[in-house]
Structure 1
């Protein structure tokens, strides 16, 4: 693994890990506001059609999951779990409700768990706490999948969510009272514009509010962990217009998984940047959505 990033200055890290600086479809200062406005409008429209909530977790790890299951779907519909991004400190599950629509139309029930933002945790391990909270969330969804006889479950995450979905495969599900038959329903992981070595972010703008330590960053870096307990295909979707560091990290993570004997696929999202890789998923015949659906079996 190439660790030349150790030599990066704070300025270099800020440049390499801020994808909004690298796309040219809008001026940098307009890109994020446009993304927020777009996703909010789309999501408010889809939420108006109906959303249920599912509680999960306990104590500080408690939270809620938005469930999108139109009346046209059977109780045992296959499941997609979507975890949102935002550098572990911005946005919310409600911001991305619109992404449930294309999956619903293809016969999937969609579960979107929310997590407490990293600066809001009253401890010294906010990043590990977010992972733990998402483990509780997925445990609750896996139990629902078993109870409803859903045949398959897929994890999809974007950016920070892309890191979280790859971390979840390292969970000891016995600690959450999840049966092995329920765990086996997890058939694929899709990380869109994810990061897999969090250590470079310690000295960057991302950490100004999180204040994670180097040891915490290592603990939540899938690149540095032992082989995952659960073996299912992993798909890494990389926007063509992301930064060189996103390219390096994605390719090195694929190499790690392949060396472990895992099935890991890298898909280049041509002409897509860090934000419109998800903005366009709800468009008709979108290439990336078609890739996701092609690799998700409705059994």
Structure 2
């Protein structure tokens, strides 16, 4: 950052970063000055798509927020893409991301966009949110036939804090926790996520997330690579914060070292929020690969 050249650096708290540098590295607004413009584009596109596509609302739990918007392609036995949105674990609703369904509907797949509690609504308890999204995927697996899908064709994707949550979905112990087969997922796209929570714990995000030794261990996907049973696409942009770039690179490298089926996509000149636009674009560097992953099961 420009001000780092003139300010006096404080004690190191993570790698070569002092507290301000680390806090900035987990604050997207510092590295993406066009955040509000990208969000305005997203909101306009999703409002139009939601009104036109008219998704079905499906519950996966007991509370009103525990549901998902389901977009049907009308095709029987089709793949289902399950999308988990970002928002620093604090903001966003499924309908805000309706436009992301369209490229998948166009190839004959169904799309489920998840709702779940915000971290503020669960008093900083991240495990509650992880449990919700895992239960949502388990519910979709169990009811795939009723939804017009196929249990063997369930894909997951997520961005930012949704990338973290999706990483937790990918390393779920499906057999132990849900009594399901270990191969619930057919593929995953993890965009600009956090896969090791220790540096996040040391950042200002700890002001609203109750990080503990136990949940840092349990909810850092990079520590549970033995549970990965599906092909994974990891993506990030070159204009993201240094930590979000490092998180993605190191997660990809760890998956590769573990012998997993993984592909890294680096989007040139894209910041954190523009990555989601690259996912929505069927001709973009992420969209092309993400759609191909699902299309292979059509």
Q: 1:11 aligns with which of 8, 13, 20?
A: 20
The separation in 1 between residues aligned to 2:260 and 2:225, in whole angstroms, is 13
Partner of 1:116: 117
Post-superposition CA distance 1:11-65 (Å, at most 9, x none):
1111222233234xxxx2xx232233221111110111211111012469x7011
Please say if 1:74 is aligned against 2:69.
no
Q: Which piece of structure 1 moves more, 243-252 or 74-83? A: 243-252
Q: Flag structure 1 segments of 5+ consecutive residues without an equivalent.
A: none
Instruction: Give the aligned partner of residue 167 of structure 2.
Output: 166
SS of alignment partner, residue 120 of structure 1? coil
Please list the CA deviations of residues 70-102 of structure 1 after superposition, one character each: whole Å capped at 9, or x if unmatched.
4xx213221111100111112222211110111
* 1:249-281 Cα distance to aligned partner (Å, 9 max, x none): 222212222222211211111221110111244
Contact 1:166-1:191 at 8 Å conserved across structures: yes
RMSD, matched Cα = 2.4
Secondary structure of 1:184's aligned partner: coil
Matches within 5 A, 1:170-209: 170-174=171-175, 177=178, 179-180=180-181, 184=183, 186-209=185-208
Name the counterpart of 2:243: 245
2-structure distance, mates of 1:213, 1:9:
21
Structure 1 partner of 2:209:
210
Q: Taking structure 1 as the reference length, what is the TM-score of the superposition?
A: 0.86
State the SS of the aligned residue for 2:158.
strand
Shift in alpha-carbon separation, 1:138–1:260, aligned structure 2, 3 A? same
Is 1:40 the counterpart of 2:59? The answer is no
Q: Which residue of the partner structure matches residue 290 of structure 1?
A: 288
User: In the aligned structure 2, how far is the partner of 1:149 from the partner of 1:99?
Assistant: 18
Matched length: 283
- Kindly tell me: are residues 35 and 214 of structure 1, through their superposed partners in 2, closer, same or farther at Cα, counting changes over 3 Å? farther
Distance 1:287 1:267, change over 3 A: closer
For 2:60 and 2:36, locate their aligned partners in 1 and report how far apart those are by CA, in whole Å.
Answer: 31
C-alpha distance in 2 between matches for 1:210 and 1:279 = 28
| 1:196 partner SS | coil
- Aligned mates of 2:218, 2:21 — CA distance in 1: 23
The answer to whether 1:53 aligns with 2:57 is yes
What residue is the counterpart of 1:105 in the other structure? 106
Following superposition, the deviation at residue 284 of structure 1 comes to 5.8
Separation in structure 2 between the aligned mates of residue 283 and residue 253 of structure 1, nearest angstrom? 24
Q: Secondary structure at the match of 2:76?
A: coil
Name the TM-score, length of structure 2 as normaliser: 0.86
- Counterpart in 1 of 2:233? 235
Q: Does 1:22 align with 2:21?
A: no
Please state whether the residue corresponding to 2:194 is helix, strand or coil: coil
**In 2 relative to 1, CA 225–4 (structure 1 residues): closer, same or farther, beyond 3 Å?**
farther
Map of 1:127 onto structure 2: 126
